[in-house]
């Protein structure tokens, strides 16, 4: 049970890293991820059963996720629709797109050749992918592009005053975020042996819960990278969910547990921050 929980938490951590880019760095509450996660699974599974190399299928799944993120950005920027509504629109449309790609609501992969029915152990494959994504995101955030991306989320008017096209930055950020989310969906489909059109439900909540938990536990510590915080938060979230099931809770109650958990953590964090501010003011 513990190994399975760790493996799943590492797969979902890739998705949460994507949510981190859109939510924390771009300050963009992107609901697209609820559609791009199963999109990655749908593209990956559909191509694998046709005989495509599993790695190439994952690459194309990432491209599909990037396109979904780009469409959200275009709807938001060009059509002047709020970021939240733009994400919801694309998420809703992707449900039909995913059904089109799959041809049915579920694609089994038990008889197909994929990454997890070879010689290498599942945990080793997942760790390789997670480390590759983590290092890539760490490198990205250290580049000039990464600094500008973070500045866009903090102060969009500053970016505009510097003569940088903030719209293009939003496009790139959303494309990167959703490509990682789709990659996670594609890996999960191969890991569990099937892709399902409904497997993305609650993805955004899972991502936010993991980020909030990691932030609450670690806080702002310079020695710990934000990507490490995200991975730890995802592990803790998955462990809490696994313990809830172990204690006898129904699987249908897990979304409620997640919602309550997020509310409690946010409340405690706000309370803690207000106490700190009160202490500083009194001093």
Nearest to 42, CA basis, from 191, 189, 184, 176: 189
Looking at residue 1, its pLDDT comes to 66
Q: What is the pLDDT along the chain (283 residues), one digit of tens a residue?
A: 678 889 999 999 999 999 999 999 999 999 999 999 999 999 999 999 999 999 999 999 999 999 999 999 999 999 999 999 999 999 999 999 999 999 999 999 988 899 998 888 999 999 999 999 999 999 999 999 999 999 988 888 888 888 888 889 999 999 999 999 999 999 999 999 999 999 988 888 889 889 988 888 776 666 778 899 999 999 998 888 888 888 777 877 777 877 787 788 778 777 777 776 665 555 5
pTM value > 0.85: yes
For residue 104, the tally of other CB atoms under 10 A from its CB is 7
Contact between 254 and 244 under an 8 Å Cβ cutoff? The reply is yes
Each as own residue / partner, the long-range contacts of residues 84-90 (CB below 8 Å, 24 or more positions apart, any chain) are 84/29, 84/31, 87/29, 87/30, 87/31, 87/32, 87/33, 88/31, 90/31, 90/32, 90/35
Looking at residue 2, its pLDDT comes to 78
Residues β-bridged to residue 194: 108
Looking at residue 60, its pLDDT comes to 97
Q: Is 108 helix (H, G, I), strand (E, B) or coil?
A: strand
Contact between 36 and 44 under an 8 Å Cβ cutoff? The reply is no
Tokens of 183: 């990659």
Residues β-bridged to residue 108: 194
How far apart are the C-alpha atoms of 16 and 23, rounded to whole Å? Answer: 10
CA angle 57, 63, 65 (to 5 degrees): 105
How far apart are the C-alpha atoms of 23 and 210, rounded to whole Å? Answer: 12
Tokens of 112: 């197909």
Q: What is the b/e burial string over 168-177, where b = at least 16 CB atoms within 10 angstroms of the residue's CB?
A: ebbbbbbbbb
User: Cα 181 from chain centroid?
Assistant: 5
Nearest to 182, CA basis, from 166, 163, 195: 195
Looking at residue 277, its pLDDT comes to 64
Q: Is 106 helix (H, G, I), strand (E, B) or coil?
A: strand
Contact between 11 and 127 under an 8 Å Cβ cutoff? The reply is no
Looking at residue 175, its pLDDT comes to 97
Q: Is 105 helix (H, G, I), strand (E, B) or coil?
A: coil
Nearest to 64, CA basis, from 28, 92, 38: 38
Q: What is the b/e burial string over 202-240, where b = at least 16 CB atoms within 10 angstroms of the residue's CB?
A: bbbbbbbbbbbbbbbebeeeeeeebbebbbbbbbbbbee
């Amino acid at each position: 049970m513990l190994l399975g929980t760790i493996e799943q938490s590492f797969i979902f951590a890739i998705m949460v890293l994507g949510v981190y880019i859109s939510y924390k760095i771009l300050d963009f509450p992107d609901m697209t991820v609820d559609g791009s996660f199963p999109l990655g699974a749908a593209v990956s599974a559909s191509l694998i059963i046709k005989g495509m190399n599993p790695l190439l299928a994952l690459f194309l799944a990432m491209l599909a996720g990037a396109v979904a993120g780009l469409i959200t950005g275009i709807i938001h920027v060009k059509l002047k629709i709020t970021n939240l509504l733009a994400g919801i629109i694309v998420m809703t449309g992707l449900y039909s797109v995913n059904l089109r790609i799959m041809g049915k609501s579920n694609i089994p992969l038990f008889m197909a050749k994929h990454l997890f029915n070879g010689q290498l152990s599942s945990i080793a494959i997942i760790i390789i992918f997670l480390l590759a994504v983590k290092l890539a995101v760490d490198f990205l955030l250290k580049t000039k592009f990464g600094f500008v991306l973070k500045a866009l989320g903090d102060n969009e008017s500053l970016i505009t005053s510097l003569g940088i096209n903030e719209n293009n930055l939003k496009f790139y950020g959303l494309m990167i975020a959703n490509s990682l989310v789709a990659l996670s969906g594609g890996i999960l489909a191969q890991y569990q042996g099937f892709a399902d059109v409904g497997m993305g439900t609650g993805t955004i909540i899972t991502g936010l819960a993991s980020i909030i938990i990691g932030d609450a536990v670690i806080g702002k510590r310079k020695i710990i990278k934000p990507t490490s915080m995200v991975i730890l938060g995802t592990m803790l979230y998955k462990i809490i969910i696994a313990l809830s099931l172990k204690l006898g809770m129904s699987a249908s109650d897990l979304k409620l547990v997640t919602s309550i958990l997020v509310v409690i953590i946010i409340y405690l964090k706000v309370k803690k921050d207000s106490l700190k501010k009160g202490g500083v003011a009194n001093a």
